[in-house]
Structure 1
Amino acid sequence: MTRTITAYFDDVQTAERAAHDLARHVPGVRGEVFDARSDSSRMAGLGLPDEDAVVLSEGFRRGGGVVHAEVPDGRFEEVAAALENSGAVDLDEREAAWRKEGWSGAAAPVAAAGTATGAAATRTAMGTSAGATTGQGQVQQLGAANDEASIPVIEERLRVGKREVGHGRVRIRSYVVETPVQEQVTLREEHVQVERRPVDRPLSGTEAAFGERTIEATERAEEAVIAKEARVTEEVSLRKTAEEHTETVRDTVRHTEVEVDDDRKTGAARTATPADKERARDI
């Protein structure tokens, strides 16, 4: 079974890029681009409701474009997501904005408008493949006595899984910082002074006359000596811990109910309830 999807874009260039991206991201599905230059008979062949055709006609007048594609039933959500990621948004919102601007919604030929540029928008019109299935709101008539048709009752079920995500990283690293320091120390210095002074006195008996004599004096001084010692003053470490907690996940699930309208007997139509389904299984 195949379905059709029609997505609207505010400018033709975005629609053409969306069709290109659709073919690249969803292999096997090709989108056809329609705009104000497209033949009206081709647009009529899309089978869009009259009200949608009127809105698209106004969109074409404003320079918009449409991507239309035949989609296998199981890939419809994938195609719709690809078109939305390419810039398609809700056409209903665009229609409401146009009406606020003064657009009356008058019908116009779908392929007779000019071109302009804009941002991005979409409404998806979903159809079905040709054959025994019918569109929404249509009634399928059974033929011969052995003919049979059914409506599936669909129910969504919530499945909750888990995945790991990163919440940030902690890193410890060391680096060297040089800080100027200063200390005061008292240093001692010795100095030798040579003094020469005139005298006039007789030679004493203890002094050698005309003998050789040498006197020496060595100057000494203290100087600062620097020594450094590395000491551990603190330790910084990393440690991982784990804890578990229970979280309640809330969402909504959908299901379909089948209403049986039997005019062969008296009574109003009623909706099949889950209890009816259980009784039907027991029969």
Structure 2
Amino acid sequence: MKTITAYFDSVQVAEKAAFDLAKAVPGVRGQVVDTRNAASLDELSLPEGDAALVREGFGRGGGVVHAEVPDGRFDEVANVLEASGAVDLDALEAGWRKEGWTGSTTGAASGTTTATTGVSTGASGATGALSGTSTGGETQRLGAAGEERIPIVEERLRVGKREVGHGRVRIRSYVVETPVQEQVTLHEERVNVERRTVDRPLTAVDEALFQERVIEATETAEEAVVAKEARVVEEVALRKTAEERTETVRDTVRRTEVEVEDDRTAAKTSTSTPKRDPGAV
């Protein structure tokens, strides 16, 4: 959104210009400021020199039309106001000074361009009839130094790196006791003593039985023997690998641009290179 301010020789002309503007450019409504509501002039953010001229104009019966202009429609609004009789402030100031007016010094008396983007020039090529600013800005006119500057600001993208943790892996060993069972076959020998009743005649072999004799037998039995053997059956390793990847970072950066509008008619001049005297040293 931009703003535009135009000065007219009389309040009646300013009111008619505001009416013509509302009719020609729907959606744009001009506010008429004159001596009756001169306090509103401070809200228009005019340059100090232009404000002094307008206040003097109020005392001479003039009026101002101020309007907010949507982006892209500034030239359309400016053309309507110029066609309705907007006055060139530079030319107006020059005339008043010839009459003896000693108001606040502005820029050059004629043909001075303003430094703020959005200022419209009149059909004749002189600036100052209309003042335009972006919302929140202020139109500037060249001072005594003859120079005003608009810095070009540009954002640059800087990409850095930082280490971010994505979790931790930890291996912990502990002892678990699990009941187990195995089956084993055990061999066992037992000795039994039996008495048998025998009734038979004694033989020659039996005669040797009449002597001392000892018979022994040993009982044996197998029992389970338990032994434990520890063996490594598996390994769990913790290993870290590193790799590099390229990531595209996308963002937007801002940069200010400057648009220069120059409607002055360039004077046509011709230049020629003087001929050199062959005899000159």
TM class by shorter chain equals: 0.3 to 0.5
Question: With CA pairs under 8 Å and 6+ residues apart, which has the higher RCO, 1 or 2?
Answer: 1
Tell me the TM-score normalised to structure 1 length: 0.43
Give the number of the structure whose alpha-carbon radius of gyration is greater: 2
